[in-house]
Amino acid sequence: MNRVFVFNGPNLRRLGTREPDVYGSTTYDDLVALCRDTGHRLGLSVEVRQTDDEAQLVRWVHEAADERVPIVLNPAAFTHYSYALRDALAQRTAPLVEVHISNPAAREEFRHTSVVAAVATGTIAGFGMMSYVLALQAVAELLAEEKA
C-alpha cells in the first residue's frame, strides 16, 4: 500500500468553526476521517497532519522528500508568501498536489498568487472538502502511471 502525506497549514485545525461561510461546517476531525477513508478506498495509506508552524511544515516536507512520499498539501496562508516552504517543496521526490477548500482566485486579491503552484504537480481548489478527495485520486492515478 502506497503511503501519502496530507499536510495542512495554519488555522485548518479550526475547521467547522472558522469562517463556516467560506470553509463549511466540516470539522478537522471529519476531514482527517475523509482523507483516511478515501485513501483506504484507493489503496493508499494516508497520514494527515496539521501545523500552524512554518518550520514544522518545512521539516515534514523534507521528511517526505527523503522518504519519496507523495504529498497532498493545503498550505493555507503559507500559499501566498512562504518561500521557505516553496524551496522545500522544490526538492520533492514524489507527486505533490496543492489543495484548497475555497477557490483562492475568487477571493481577496492577496490570495490570487501561490508561490507553491510552480513546484506542484497540480492544484485542486474550490471544491470544499471534495478537493482533498480529488487530490488523493490524482495521487493514486499518478502512482499507478509510475508503475505501468
Give the annotated binding-site residues: 74, 80, 87, 101-102, 111
Q: Which are the contacts of 120, defined by CB distance < 8 A and separation ≥ 6?
A: 73, 89, 96, 97, 98
Establish whether 40 is a catalytic residue: no
Closest CA to 22 of 76, 73, 71, 75: 76
Strand partners, 98: 73, 123
Q: How far is CA 91 from CA 16, 62, 63, 133, 143, in A?
A: 33, 8, 11, 25, 18
Give me the catalytic one of 40, 83, 100, 132.
100
**What are the beta bridge partners of residue 124?**
99
Side by side, the strands of the sheet bearing 44-50 are 44-50, 2-8, 71-74, 96-100, 122-125
Residues 72/139, Cβ–Cβ less than 8 Å: yes
Q: Which residues are annotated as part of the binding site for substrate?
A: 74, 80, 87, 101-102, 111
Is 100 catalytic? The answer is yes
Catalytically active residues are: 23, 100
